[in-house]
Chains A and B, each alone.
Chain A
């Protein structure tokens, strides 16, 4: 017996009964969504707070104010003012005498050594560079801020516990006494850490800088982009527009999807074996790193580009073909510009991943201790994530904050890169 047809009024009564239930379900769903977003944001905020609280310290370093007398007898005994001679001068002696002048009561070799250790070893090199650049300073007196030693840096950042016994502290009681005095005289300060941004890696934490890694990352990524974007886009266009739909193209599609999920370290092994082993390219160079990262990001770009191409409405293609455009013209003039925002999105995602990859680059040797700033794509270099890994592995306490500082730089790099890409994408979207 079939149900008799309901009148509109009866149907309305049934609908009314179910409405409350439906609205509650809706409200629950919205609550879930909100909770998910909030949880995500909370984790993100926590992450940033931890990193920034650890890392901000890296952007400041302790400096000591010293009166330096550019003693000609020490710097340029021969009086020739020749650059070679100037370079060979004993600038460390200048530092020592300046310190001695500050603390004349210090006696004995042990105490003197401790006093000298208050200042970083690189201070003498800084003086050397200064004199070589401007020899007219020889014989003058100057008050300069020089880099303090890494233990002093820790002291200024409150990481030296005075309560511990002397043997467990990086600074002796004597040294602490001197530092207190210097601080009281305003000769000991935390200032902006230029060396962090301009130096390459170093064994001494106070000298360690991020610029080598930044340059390395920059070269690697630019090269990766130049390689992977054209190849990926061209491959996607071919597969989507020109290739005939048969078993071969199906196999290729499956393989590309699989490649996108392959662990990145496998690409590193490939790079090691093929690029370095077979083709003999230089180890640790951005060139090889870029090639490996290209292999990594290609599947992502191809998949995203194909999806973007598929999304272009067929009416545009038909209109172009109907006008008498050839297939290439149809794709280049009409389909590609419309698909570009999607392609750029895929590229952004791929590049962001490439920026943060360290495993494959470790395999091709970018884990070495590189001091010099790389100047080209074949110079040995390292990248930011690897640098973070190396510093985090280091025993010195001074590297702890530098690790977090490096992470901050990495994140800043990422933000800049993504913003550029998003602006580019918006420009493309707006024009059409």
Chain B
């Protein structure tokens, strides 16, 4: 597609066409098995290439490659069973806990392969935190919930430092004002939205570089959801966030990049604004407009 010549006709200037607003010069033709859009990001925190995941004989993730940028929210959307949660769990090796799960391909965190023998999985999970779909605070006090991570990783030298970490984590999670008078109460005595923020607080207490969120708001009401989305916007200043979500509106609201998964394949990746106004792949279009199934 060439660019058009600027034409003056009767005083009317027509814009050159053929340029898509996000600057791509040529539109990629759609090939089978190839992801549409730019999977690369400059200076990524995660670089995944040719990732395959097998559950026994089932091929759950098929040769997926994608980058995750620092200070950015990447949303992964797709119909049920498309593999987005599976892929998310690869990033902090939670699939190791599942019998019969096999992960192949390269996943580099800051340049280093996370499956390398020298990489300690416990340390990995301190750098890559995870928030789950159903809030699951430990059956301990609120204080203990947040203090657990720093304690086992030895991040605080004494009680004073630990108090400080707990205080700042709860504050960053937007929970401090609500719980400061009842830190010794059990974590399970909070409402659903508060529990999820508590889970976020305990995740950020160890200063991770990436936070993985698996449908964090699906069990929450709209106000709690809005609070957490607001929190995500603040958090992404200091760490990358990868969020799996069923709600396309949420993906549109919180993310800068969106990835569409379909039956284990990564179909399209791109800037969120463009994906939701003008996606390039028909499958993506069908899914987000509700023509799927």
Interface residues of A (CB under 8 A from B): 245, 313, 315-326, 329, 333-334, 337-338, 432
Contact = CB atoms under 8 A, between A and B. Distances in A.
A325 B152 contact: yes
B206 A432 contact: no
B47 interface: no
B186 interface: yes
B139 A323 contact: no
B94 interface: yes
Interface in B135-170: 136-140, 148-149, 152-153
B249 interface: no
Nearest to B140: A432
Contacts of B139: 316, 334, 337-338, 432
Given A315-B132, A321-B94, A338-B139, A326 B99 contact: no
Given A322-B92, A322-B203, 13 more contacts: A316-B136, A319-B138, A321-B97, A322-B94, A323-B148, A323-B149, A324-B123, A324-B126, A325-B148, A334-B139, A432-B139, A432-B140, A432-B186
A315 B135 CA distance: 9
B84 interface: no
B204 to A, nearest CB: 11
B122 interface: yes
A313 B152 CA distance: 22
B149 A324 contact: yes
Contacts of B136: 313, 315-316, 318-319
Contacts of B149: 323-324
Interface in B14-45: none
Interface of B: 92, 94, 97, 99, 122-126, 129-130, 132, 134, 136-140, 148-149, 152-153, 186, 199, 202-203, 206
A323 B203 contact: yes
A407 to B, nearest CB: 42
Contacts of B206: 323-324
A245 B98 CA distance: 12
A333 B148 contact: yes
B213 to A, nearest CB: 11
Contacts of B94: 318, 321-322
Contacts of A334: 138-139
A416 B51 CA distance: 61
Contacts of B132: 315, 318-319, 322
Nearest to B97: A321
Contact of B152 (A317, A318, A319, A329): A329
B125 to A, nearest CB: 4
A228 B148 CA distance: 31
29 contacts: A315-B132, A315-B136, A316-B139, A318-B97, A319-B132, A319-B199, A320-B138, A321-B94, A321-B97, A321-B125, A322-B94, A322-B132, A323-B126, A323-B129, A323-B148, A323-B202, A323-B203, A323-B206, A324-B122, A324-B123, A324-B125, A324-B153, A325-B148, A325-B152, A326-B122, A329-B152, A333-B148, A334-B139, A337-B139
Most interface-central of A317, A324, A325 (chain B CB within 10 A)? A324
Contacts of A321: 94, 97, 125
B134 A315 contact: yes
B125 A245 contact: no
A245 B99 CA distance: 9
Nearest to A321: B97
A332 to B, nearest CB: 11
7 nearest CB pairs, A to B: A324-B126, A322-B130, A324-B125, A315-B136, A432-B139, A319-B136, A323-B149
A333 B137 CA distance: 13
A316 B186 CA distance: 15
Contacts of A313: 136
A316 B187 CA distance: 13
B65 to A, nearest CB: 25
A97 B242 CA distance: 101
Contacts of B92: 322
A313 to B, nearest CB: 8
A313 B140 CA distance: 15
A334 to B, nearest CB: 6
A394 to B, nearest CB: 55
A80 to B, nearest CB: 71
Nearest to B126: A324
A296 to B, nearest CB: 33
A322 B134 contact: no
A321 to B, nearest CB: 6
Given A318-B94, A320-B138, A325 B122 contact: yes
A317 B99 CA distance: 15
Contacts of B124: 324
Contacts of A322: 92, 94, 125, 129-130, 132, 203
